[in-house]
Amino acid sequence: MNILQVNSSARAEGSVSTRLAGELVSRLKAAAPEATLALRDLGHEPHPVLDESALQALFTPAAQRTPDQAARVAQDDALIAEIQAADVVVLGVPMYNFGVSSQLKNWIDAIARAGVTFRYTAQGPEGLLKGKKAYAVLARGGKYRDSAADTQVPYLRTVLGFLGITDIEFIYAEGLALGPESEAQSLAAARTQIAELA
């Protein structure tokens, strides 16, 4: 089993989503000692945004790309290769202003490539990253689960499903900014959920 852990917090230290994602991975590896782990920390190594120069590079035939364009496409290729090789994907997902972090959005923009991770057919779009299990470890200051303010879960279900990843478990650590008691209860609940899932 190949595990890909993607941390998307801007914090170098003290990130709850990173810590809990790591705890989940540790449990998965304990259950499957032969498992390999690829770790992508987007806070320590941010991926570049999908801007005009990146689009030009992607839409230029490979043989005609400049060295800079080839290098830019290679950055996205590396992320695509990681998720293609993964059997299990663990995402550390903090909530920033009701959405995913820009770090995670840049990663998603990099791995979503027509003809590689999805394709358009006569029957509609088809995701090409099938057969994978995903876990999204959500860390939030407030409590938003199952409310209109939770844009993360619908977005991740939609975009991962579009790429073919439909088996997704969401792990919630909420109310982290609502005082020590709320934080302790939230972390305990998240760890219970991790133990049950792993």
Instruction: Map tokens 């950055």 to a residue.
Output: 75
CA distance linking residue 16 with residue 96, whole number of Å: 13
Q: Give me the pLDDT at residue 198, please.
A: 86
Domain boundaries along the sequence of the chain: 2-197
Q: In the Cβ-directed half-sphere of 92, how many Cα atoms lie within 13 Å?
A: 26
Classify domain 2-197 by CATH architecture: 3-Layer(aba) Sandwich (3.40)
Whole-model pTM: value is 0.95
Q: Give me the pLDDT at residue 123, please.
A: 94
pLDDT digits (tens, 9 = 90+) for 135-190: 999 999 999 999 999 999 999 999 999 999 999 999 999 999 999 999 999 999 99
CA distance linking residue 94 with residue 44, whole number of Å: 15
What's the Rg (C-alpha) of the chain?
A: 17
pLDDT digits (tens, 9 = 90+) for 18-40: 999 999 999 999 999 999 999 99
pLDDT digits (tens, 9 = 90+) for 67-105: 999 999 999 999 999 999 999 999 999 999 999 999 999
Residue 118's closest CA among 166, 167, 46, 169?
Answer: 166
